[in-house]
Chains A and B, each alone.
Chain A
Amino acid sequence: MSLSYAELFRALLPEAALTIGALAVLTADLTVGRRQDLSARYRTAVSIGLLSVLAAAYGTLAAGNTGEAFGGVLILDMLTLGTRLGVLVLAGLTLALLPGVSRIRHPAEYVAVVLFASCGFTLMGASNQLLVAFLAIELASLSLYILAGLDKSSPASAEAGLKYYLVGGMSAAFLLFGFSLLYGLTGSLELPQIAFQLSLQGMTALLMIALTMILVAFGFKAAAAPFHLWAPDVYEGAPPASAALIASASKLAGFVIFLRLLWPGLGFSAGRVTDLPVIVGWLPVVALLVLASLLVGNLGALAQSNVRRLLGYSAIAHAGSLLLGMIGAGHSGPGPVFYYAATYGLATVGAFGVVALVDRAGRCQQLTDLAGLRTRSPLLAGTLAVFVLSLAGFPPLAGFFGKFAVYASVLKVGGVGGPAGWLTLAAIALSAVALYYYLIILKQALVAPAKESAREVIPVPLPATLSLLAAASLILVFGLFPSTILRIFG
Chain B
Amino acid sequence: MNALPWTIYVSFAGALLALAAGQRSASAARVVGLLTALTGLGLALGAAADFTPAAGLQTLVNAPWIPELGVRYHLAADGISLTLVVLTGLAATAGVLFSWNIGERTGEFFALYFALIGGVYGVFLSADAFAFFVFYEIAIVPKYFLIANWGSTNREYGAMKLVLYSFAGSALVLAGLLWAHGAAGGDSFALADLAAAAPNFTRFEQLGMFALLFTGFAVLAGMFPFHTWAPTGHVAAPTAASMLLAGVVMKLGAYGCLRVAMVTFPAGLAYFAPVIAWLAIIGILYAGFVALVQDDFKFVIGYSSVSHMGFVLLGLAAANATAVAGAVLQMFSHGVIAGLLFAVVGRMVYERTHTRKMDDLRALPLHRLLPFAAVVFVLAGLASMGLPGFSGFPAELTILIGTWKTSPLWALVAASGVLVAAAFTLRAIQVSFFGQNETAKDAPDHHYEPITWPEKAGAVLLLAATVYVGLNPDALLRWITPALESPLLRAALNGGAP
A→B interface (CB under 8 Å): 335, 389, 394-396, 400-401, 404-405, 407-408, 411-413, 415-416, 421, 424-425, 428-429, 431-432, 435-436, 439, 442-443, 446-447, 482-483, 486-487, 490
A394 with B182: in contact, given A447-B145, A483-B68 (CB under 8 Å)?
Answer: no
Residues of A contacting B181 in the complex (Cβ-Cβ under 8 angstroms): 408, 411-412
Of B41-49, B172-180, B427-435, B473-481, the one touching chain A: B172-180
Residues of B contacting A431 in the complex (Cβ-Cβ under 8 angstroms): 167, 171
Contact B182 A447 (CB under 8 A): no
Which parts of B120-167 form the interface with A (CB within 8 Å)? Answer: 130, 133-134, 137-138, 140-141, 144-145, 148-149, 156, 160, 163-164, 167
Residues of B contacting A424 in the complex (Cβ-Cβ under 8 angstroms): 175, 178
Residues of B contacting A429 in the complex (Cβ-Cβ under 8 angstroms): 168, 171, 175
What class of interface size applies to chain B in its complex with A? 20 to 34
Chain A binding surface, main DSSP class: helix
A477 to B160, CA, bound (A): 28
A407 with B178: in contact, given A400-B137, A490-B68 (CB under 8 Å)?
Answer: yes
Contact A415 B175 (CB under 8 A): no
Q: List 21 A-B contacts (CB under 8 A).
A: A394-B137, A394-B138, A395-B134, A395-B138, A400-B134, A407-B178, A412-B181, A415-B182, A415-B205, A421-B179, A425-B175, A429-B171, A429-B175, A431-B167, A435-B164, A443-B156, A443-B160, A446-B149, A447-B149, A447-B156, A483-B65
A428 with B175: in contact, given A395-B137, A396-B134 (CB under 8 Å)?
Answer: yes
A486 to B71, CA, bound (A): 13
Residues of B contacting A482 in the complex (Cβ-Cβ under 8 angstroms): 66, 68
Identify A415's interface contact among B69, B138, B140, B183, CB under 8 A: B183
Residues of A contacting B175 in the complex (Cβ-Cβ under 8 angstroms): 424-425, 428-429
Contact A411 B179 (CB under 8 A): yes
Residues of B contacting A405 in the complex (Cβ-Cβ under 8 angstroms): 69
Residues of B contacting A395 in the complex (Cβ-Cβ under 8 angstroms): 133-134, 137-138
Contact B178 A408 (CB under 8 A): yes
Residues of A contacting B140 in the complex (Cβ-Cβ under 8 angstroms): 394
Given contacts A443-B156, A447-B148, 4 further A-B contacts (CB under 8 A): A395-B137, A407-B174, A408-B186, A483-B66
Q: Any chain A CB within 8 A of the CB of B67?
A: yes
A289 to chain B: closest CB distance in Å? Answer: 22
A424 to B176, CA, bound (A): 11
Identify A432's interface contact among B168, B183, B205, CB under 8 A: B168
Identify A408's interface contact among B144, B148, B182, CB under 8 A: B182
Contact A443 B148 (CB under 8 A): yes
Contact B69 A408 (CB under 8 A): yes
A81 to B410, CA, bound (A): 63
Which parts of B366-395 form the interface with A (CB within 8 Å)? Answer: none
Contact A432 B167 (CB under 8 A): yes
Contact A416 B208 (CB under 8 A): yes
Contact A486 B68 (CB under 8 A): yes
B206 to chain A: closest CB distance in Å? Answer: 12
A439 to B141, CA, bound (A): 9
Contact B67 A483 (CB under 8 A): yes
A487 to B156, CA, bound (A): 42
Residues of B contacting A447 in the complex (Cβ-Cβ under 8 angstroms): 145, 148-149, 156
Residues of A contacting B156 in the complex (Cβ-Cβ under 8 angstroms): 443, 447
A57 to chain B: closest CB distance in Å? Answer: 24
Contact A396 B138 (CB under 8 A): yes
Residues of B contacting A486 in the complex (Cβ-Cβ under 8 angstroms): 66, 68-69
A232 to B377, CA, bound (A): 55
Contact A411 B171 (CB under 8 A): no
B94 to chain A: closest CB distance in Å? Answer: 26
Kindly report which residue of chain B lies nearest to residue A411, judged by CB atoms: B182
A443 to chain B: closest CB distance in Å? Answer: 6
A442 to B140, CA, bound (A): 15
Which parts of B78-135 form the interface with A (CB within 8 Å)? Answer: 130, 133-134
A404 to chain B: closest CB distance in Å? Answer: 8
Residues of A contacting B164 in the complex (Cβ-Cβ under 8 angstroms): 432, 435-436
Contact A428 B182 (CB under 8 A): no
Residues of B contacting A400 in the complex (Cβ-Cβ under 8 angstroms): 134, 137
The 5 A-B pairs with the shortest beta carbon distances in the complex, nearest first, are A411-B182, A412-B182, A395-B134, A432-B168, A486-B68
Residues of A contacting B69 in the complex (Cβ-Cβ under 8 angstroms): 405, 408, 486
Contact A412 B186 (CB under 8 A): yes
Kindly report which residue of chain B lies nearest to residue A482, judged by CB atoms: B66
A487 to B148, CA, bound (A): 40
Contact A335 B167 (CB under 8 A): no
Contact B178 A439 (CB under 8 A): no
Residues of B contacting A425 in the complex (Cβ-Cβ under 8 angstroms): 175
Identify A439's interface contact among B137, B144, B149, B208, CB under 8 A: B144
A329 to chain B: closest CB distance in Å? Answer: 14
Identify A416's interface contact among B65, B134, B163, B179, CB under 8 A: B179
A389 to B140, CA, bound (A): 11
Residues of B contacting A401 in the complex (Cβ-Cβ under 8 angstroms): 66
Query: 0/1 per residue, B236-276, Cβ < 8 Å to A?
Result: 00000000000000000000000000000000000000000
A446 with B145: in contact, given A405-B69, A415-B205 (CB under 8 Å)?
Answer: yes
